[in-house]
Amino acid sequence: MTDPSLDMSTVAPTRNQWWDVWDQFKSHRGAVIGAMFLIFITLFVVVGPWLYGVDPAKLDIRNKDMRPFYLGLFTDVKWSWTRPLGTDHLGRDIMANLMQGGKISLAVGWVAMLLALVLGTLVGVFAGFFKRLDGPLMRFTDLVLSLPLLPLLLVMMLLFRDPLRASFGPETGIFILIVTGIGITSWMHTARIVRGDILAIKEREFVLAARSIGTPPRRVIMRHLLPNVMSPIMVSATLGLATAIITESALSFLGLGFPSDFPTWGKILFDSVDRMTNFPERVIWPGLAISLTVLSVNYIGDGLRDALDPRIRGL
C-alpha cells in the first residue's frame, strides 16, 4: 500500500513551459547581467530625469564646458557636484541629456522592433500558411533583401523629413519617419524564420486535428501556430531591438536623424565629435550607453536562444 501523503510530496507542482525557460535563462550568466543592465538603463532614462530634476535643454552659459567629476577630483579643471558628468559648450547638463536622449533612443528601438516584428510575423505566417501566397511573398522578401538598405534609409530620411515635420511637428514627425523607416527595412529575417517554422509545424498532427474538427484558419493560426513560433520570434525580437538602436544612432550620427536640439545618444555623440580632442567624455558616455545597451540586448538574445531551445534546456 502506498502512502498517499508521501505520493503528494514527491510529485513536483505543475510548471508551465515558461518556468523551465526562466530556469535555463537564469543559468546563462551573460544574459542575466544583460537583463539587469537593460533594466538599469531603462530605469535610468525613465525614472532618472524625475529624480535628477535638471532640464536637459536649459542653457547655462556661465557654467559651460564643465568637466565630469572623476576628472575634477584628480585634476585642476572646472567641475561641480551638481553637474556630475559636466556640461556642454552651451552649458546644457550632459547627464540630463543622456537621460533624455536614451529615452528617445530606446523608444525608437522598441517601437521600430515591434513594427518590424509584426510585419515580419504577418508576412511569415501568410507565406507559410497559405500556399498561394508563399511564392509571391517570398520573392518580395528576397527583393527587399537585395535593396541597399542603409543608403535607402538615408535617402528616405532626407526626402520625407520636411513634409512629416510639417504635418506632425518636429519631434513626432521625425519619430514616425525613423520608426517606420527602420521597421520596413528590417522585417525580412523574421519573416523568413517564421515562414520556415510555420511550414514545418502546419504539417504536424495537432494542426491536422484542429483542422479536422473544422477550426477556421484564423483560429488555427492564433491558437496553434503562433504560440509554437514564439521562440524564434522572441529571439529575432532581441536582434531587432539591437539593430534598431544601432541604426537610429547611425542615422543621427550621419546627421540625418533627429533635429539638432533634440538629443538622442547618436545625436549627442555626433554633436560632440568636433570637440572630442578637448572633451573626450562627451563622446565616450553616449557611445558607451549605446554599446552597452546593444551588448546587453545581444546577450539577452543569446540567453533566450539557449533557454527556448528544448534540446539544450535541462542539461
Partner 1 sequence: MLTYTIRRLILAIPTLLFIALVIFLLLELAPGDPMAEMPLTIPPEVKERMREALGLGQPWYIRFYLWLYQFFVVEPQYWIDALFGTNLADGAQRIISFQSRSPVFDTIAERIPQTLWVVGMSYVVGVIIALPIGIISAYRQYSWFDNLGTFISMVGFSVPTFFTGVLLIVIFSVNLGWFPSIYDTTLVVNDWSSFLMQLRQMAMPVFVLALYNAAQISRFMRASMLDNLGQDYVRTARAKGMRERVVVLKHVLRNSLIPVVTVIALGVPQVFGGAIITEQVFKVNGLGQLLIIAIHGNDVPMILTLTFIFAVLIVIFNLIADVLYGFLDPRIRYD
Residue 125 binds partner 1 (CB under 8 A): no
Residue 36 binds partner 1 (CB under 8 A): no
Number of residues that bind partner 1 (CB under 8 A): 42
C-alpha distance from residue 161 to each of 4, 154, 310 (Å): 72, 11, 46
User: x/- binding map, residues 227-246, to partner 1, per CB under 8 A?
Assistant: ---------------x---x
Residue 269 binds partner 1 (CB under 8 A): yes
User: x/- binding map, residues 156-185, to partner 1, per CB under 8 A?
Assistant: x-xxx-xx----------------------
535638471: which residue's cell? 54
Taking the complex as a whole, how short is the minimal distance between the CB of residue 41 and partner 1, in angstroms?
A: 14
- Crossing angle for the helix pair 94-129 and 265-272, to the nearest 10 degrees: 130
User: x/- binding map, residues 81-110, to partner 1, per CB under 8 A?
Assistant: ------------------------------
Binding positions for partner 1, 135-154, rule CB under 8 A: 143, 146-152, 154
Among 169, 216, 217, 255, binds partner 1 (CB under 8 A): 255
Q: Are 110 and 182 in contact (CB under 8 A)?
A: no
- The residue count of the chain comes to 315
Compute the distance between CA of residue 3 and CA of residue 259 in angstroms, rounded to an integer: 73
> What number of other Cβ atoms are within 10 A of residue 180's Cβ?
16
Cell readout for 52 is: 535628477
**Nearest Cα to Cα of residue 28 among 302, 294, 292:** 302
Compute the distance between CA of residue 237 and CA of residue 222 in angstroms, rounded to an integer: 19
Among 249, 258, 268, 306, binds partner 1 (CB under 8 A): 249
Compute the distance between CA of residue 55 and CA of residue 35 in angstroms, rounded to an integer: 29
Among 47, 118, 208, 276, binds partner 1 (CB under 8 A): 276
Which residues make up the interface to partner 1 (CB under 8 A)? 30, 143, 146-152, 154-156, 158-160, 162-163, 242, 246, 249-250, 253-256, 266, 269, 273, 276-277, 280, 283-284, 287-288, 290-291, 294-295, 298-299, 302
